[in-house]
Amino acid sequence: MNITKADVLSMTVPTPFAVGPVNCFLIKGDVLTLVDTGPRTPEAQRELNEQLKNHGYAFEDIEQVVLTHHHPDHIGLVGGMMERGVCVLGHWKNDRWLQMSDSFLKENDTFMTSIYREAGVADQYFNHARDAREYLAFTDRAKCDIHLSEGDAVPGCSEWTVMETPGHAQSHISLWHKETGTMIAGDHLIKKISSNPLLEPPYVKGTERPKPLIQQRDSYRKTLDAHLQYVYTGHGEPILNPDDLIKERLRKQEERSDKVALLLRKQPLTAFEVCKELFPGVYKKQMGLTLSETIGHLDYLESENVIVKKKDKEQTYYRYKL
Ligand SMILES: [Zn+2]
């Protein structure tokens, strides 16, 4: 049985984002299932319609949509689908991003502002509120009809099991077809780029924030245990030797963490100072992504007992542990 040819159809639609086009998939189960939608742009809608047609389907044929995670390039068109009665499935952690309530957007902004302050980010790079607004403009308000979590069989596609793969996004799930070692991995695994672990506010206000790089490493290891053969990804081509790629991702993260440890051996630094060293040039344009990645490494080194952090007024300094 070759599931990669038989039951999954790939479609690629354009996005306005730097990452380039996004992949959406059609699973021909008992229920015709779309995995991810593309962003809310006329170009994406047109391309999706066109490619569905090439596969012998119309947009109206889609019965349910599974969301791998809440980023607009993956969920943008879901609001329109929901209005047409398409059933929406995803992890419950998508909900706050799908609902986009004013109070949550404010909470997210307050959270990121406190992260930036604590990291010692220079004032001119406090663009997170504007960036979030621009980013979220490519999606519609929606809600999940059915929540999926670890180990669930996807309704109507029961040979596909849900694997929670947080790190890149707290809401991230991948769909695993155990019999053939196939996975639809969203942005959990991408062949040409390593997806950023991204900071998000805690789900319960006042509790400790999630540590996305540590989560991502756990998700990588869990994926290794599945002994996959073939991985469909959210961007770019499928992965034929996923275990090699995952091991490479884990190794590269360790190398970058070693680099951070070396910097901190010389002197205590704020996260922003480490970020500038790790991503010279890039950080100015991509403060949110590069700072998330940097704090991810600092979280990791702290969890490994290599460094400690100390608050000094508003800022936090990281110090190498002797
Ligand atoms: Zn993403």
Kindly give the distance from the C-alpha atom of residue 309 to the centroid of ligand 1, in angstroms, as a whole number: 29
Separation of 205 CA from ligand 1 center, angstroms? 23
- Ligand 1 centroid to residue 293 C-alpha, Å: 14
Model confidence at 6, in pLDDT bands (50, 70, 90)? Answer: very low
Q: Which stretch of 102-111, 126-135, 199-208 has the lowest confidence by average pLDDT?
A: 126-135
Q: Is the pLDDT of residue 41 over 70?
A: yes
CA of 69 to the centre of ligand 1 (A): 7
CA angle at residue 65 from 7 to 42, to 5 degrees?
105
Mean pLDDT for the stretch of residues 211-219: 98
pLDDT given at position 137 = 86
Cβ neighbors of 175 (< 8 A, separation 6 or more) are 27, 35, 66, 68, 154, 157, 160, 161, 162, 163, 183, 184
Give the mean pLDDT of 180-198: 96
**Which residues have CB atoms below 5 A from the ion given as ligand 1?**
71, 187
pLDDT band at 193 (very low <50, low <70, confident <90, very high): very high
Please compute Rg for the chain using Cα positions. Answer: 20
From 188, 179, 184, select the one nearest 162 (Cα to Cα).
184
- pLDDT at residue 219, rounded to an integer: 98
Cα 34 from Cα 25, distance rounded (Å): 6
What per-residue confidence (pLDDT) applies to 159?
A: 94
Percent of the chain exceeding pLDDT 90 equals: 89
pLDDT of residue 206: 86
Domain ranges of the chain: 3-103+135-250
CA of 262 to the centre of ligand 1 (A): 30
Task: State the fold for domain 3-103+135-250.
Answer: Metallo-beta-lactamase; Chain A (3.60.15)
